[in-house]
Structure 1
């Protein structure tokens, strides 16, 4: 071995030794810190939950402490609604020890590069912030409507750079693990399945924008930004949405008439699912210058006897039925399934309103509630928005 060769070998060993103790960024990852600096604030752009009661975040130099509160049980398959904590630490810096108040928290390195939305309530937030991060989804809107509201996300689904993984009892845990995401967002689901994902290195984050008022649901874009470090972009989106939403609310609130609106889902003869006052749709109705038939405190869905719904809702001027399974349903089909609903004047007189595409409504409407509100204002007070074309809602045809 020549002297030159020996010198190069020694120099290489010294360089490796010097770098061994430093936390290094992943190769080619421009979002990671190159060298950790104690005391440095790694998150100059910050967000907070101004309306949402479901989550809070604290920024602590190189990590964010995210707390998600216990939510109401909204699904028969949901077996765990306990509050959770997540430590979102900047890549290229050391993860904090999960002791003391951090004990039991799930640690997730940010910005995440690969995530799954299960079932599909954050797709609108991915569209705004980081569609390239989406690797999988639980369910997806029809292609005929998705491209209008979610063009960048829709492209990933169409070219299969994001793939379906199922949801609920159809969740394919092996496919999720094979995709290798850093995080999976879940509205609800089976604890045993999610524990398996956690053991496989997937951080399962529980969050459901449907458990919010409209502006609270719009903060889903802020929630996702905590994982992508996209706080600045999220703030810009939310600020614009909030401004338009409040402007519409003021305009509708000045209307003299306050039409009565029946809000809820026909349970096909078994029961009626009525959203409580602080749920998304009743708040939309009030902000659109209407009043709900039922006054139910809370922010979940409440089961009522069909007879109660029919008796109270018979004279309602409109029926806004947020029905997950009612896409394309006509008045004739609805009455064929449940003849008693012929007593609901709003339905038979052509004033029944449904989601044009339930999945688009959930995926894109929740982060754009100003557009949901505009649709509803144009229905309840057409003179306030002349010429408005419905985007997320549809009138139930006689059919």
Structure 2
């Protein structure tokens, strides 16, 4: 679950005093004793990164290796960005290169990290580096087991609650980096405030990826800061292989288009229905699962607002309805919100499914946490819904039928 982040007005008003305090207490480059991860004696002829990643599906970042440092480039850190963002990741104990330009320098592997989106947490678990996490946004909503255990041990601190970032809490942890996202608007203000506080911010724009494997591959981005490229390649290869095997199995089974059930998504809010475009993350899942998405002709990667009646005219006879209001638990809840929903064939035929099976008591939805890294599990769920004969004995991970 991604959170939009804000800074409290009090902290903003105290900005000048806070910045002065930060300048006295926090240096942009934190001085620590050399750890076992650091180079004790630099050899300019040595390749310090024998395990290297190549980016296959993600379009938002790339990496170039240079012996003792890596140059990581984000082509577009947020939708409104005009310029790329660069990070130079220098092996700890080796010199900073001369030609860094305006890039942010980070010594790797980073000893301590604060993350402001739960979508990054499974990366640290998969890379066996949860011990590097010292702070996160809203500890109550995470569903990553290794992270939950560290929270219980009070080794990971809550630095954001109710979408408000506690800058002072982050400063007290003195992290090497703060990994977050910039979606423009208020989140850009948050990034600026963190940077003005003397914190080293690393932007992660996986949310801009419109393919499931593209978002999953941002595991490699996180791995670059931890020198865990070898592990990242191993984990991602398993995910990729499973996802593609599932999609190929479906493709072989539905060579005849008439075997593809029709599907639509979402719900109406104040008579406006936001429909995912054909190039969106959601639409890609539906295609790969062998469904006929009714808005596959909508040329957009974002959701598009439509009137209720426009959606009804196209979707009233659809076979399935998925990704609905998270507050709906039963079919009765659906028509209680709006009796017109009862006219959809999917409601009448008891074929409404939601990605809410793994939601905890605080509203944390694992679909938007572990599911981002493991899209193969989401795809398997959707295949079971649309083509149950292909995975007859499987148990759904994220989806459940409305009662």
- For residue 202 of structure 1, report the CA deviation from its aligned partner: 2.4
Which stretch of structure 1 is more off in the superposition, 183-192 or 374-383? 183-192
Name which one, 1 or 2, has greater alpha-carbon Rg: 1
Structure 2: which 5+ residue stretches go unaligned?
A: 1-30
Distance 1:26 1:35, change over 3 A: farther
TM-score normalised per structure 1: 0.83
Change (3 A) 1:233 1:321: same
Maintained 8 Å contact 1:321/1:354 = yes
Mapped contact 2:115–2:179 kept (Cα < 8 A): yes
Q: Is 1:338 matched up with 2:338?
A: yes
Task: Please report how far the alpha carbon of residue 32 of structure 1 lies from its aligned counterpart in structure 2 after TM superposition.
Answer: 1.0
What is aligned with 1:41? 47
Q: CA shift at 1:277, angstroms?
A: 2.6
Match of 1:125 in 2: 123
Equivalent residues of 1:140, 1:359 under 8 A apart: no
1:175 aligns with 2:175: no
Q: Does 1:379 align with 2:380?
A: no
Q: CA deviation at 1:300?
A: 2.6
Which residue number in structure 1 is paired with residue 136 of structure 2? 137
8 A Cα contact 2:89 2:225, kept in partner: yes
Q: Post-superposition shift, 1:274?
A: 2.2
* Contact preservation (8 Å) 2:275, 2:303: yes
Superposition deviation, residue 59 in structure 1:
0.9
Once the two structures are superposed, residues 184-207 of structure 1 have per-residue CA deviations (whole angstroms, 9 ceiling, x without a partner) of: 222335323322322334222222
Q: Whole-Å Cα distance in 2 between the matches of residues 340 and 259 of structure 1?
A: 22
User: Is structure 2 residue 348 aligned with structure 1 residue 351?
Assistant: no
Inter-partner Cα distance in structure 1 for 2:82 and 2:324: 23
The size of the alignment, in residue pairs, is: 357
Match of 2:260 in 1: 258
* In structure 2, C-alpha distance between the alignment counterparts of 1:345 and 1:215, rounded to whole Å: 32
Deviation at 1:182, TM superposition (A): 1.6
Checking the alignment, whether the CA contact within 8 Å between 1:173 and 1:197 is kept in structure 2 is yes
SS at match of 2:175: coil
1:156 pairs with 2:162: no
Q: Does the 8 Å contact 1:268/1:338 carry over to 2?
A: no
What is residue 72 of structure 2 aligned with on the other side?
66
* Runs of 4+ more than 4 Å apart: 79-82, 140-143
SS in 1 for 2:86: strand
What does 1:289-368 align with in structure 2 at a 5 Å threshold?
289-295=290-296, 296-321=298-323, 326=326, 329-355=329-355, 356=357, 357=359, 359-368=365-374
Of 179, 184, 187, the residue aligned with 2:178 is 184
Deviation digits for residues 243-276 of structure 1 (CA, Å, limit 9, x no counterpart) = 111111111112231111113x324224222222
Per-residue deviation, 1:222 = 0.9
Aligned twin of 1:200: 197
2:309 match: secondary structure: helix
Matching residue of 2:8: none
Q: Which runs of 5+ in 1 are unaligned?
A: 1-24, 74-78
Query: Matched residues in 1 for 2:105 and 2:161: separation?
Result: 23
Normalised to the residue count of structure 2, the TM-score between the two structures is 0.82
RMSD (Å), alpha carbons: 2.3
Q: Secondary structure at the match of 1:166?
A: strand
The equivalent of 1:165 in structure 2 is 159
**Change over 3 Å in CA distance of 1:391–1:195 after alignment to 2:** same
Which 10-residue stretch deviates more, 361-370 or 180-189?
180-189
CA distance in 1, matches of 2:191, 2:118: 17
Q: Distance in 2 between matches of 1:344 and 1:161?
A: 49
Distance 2:160 2:83 in 1: 23
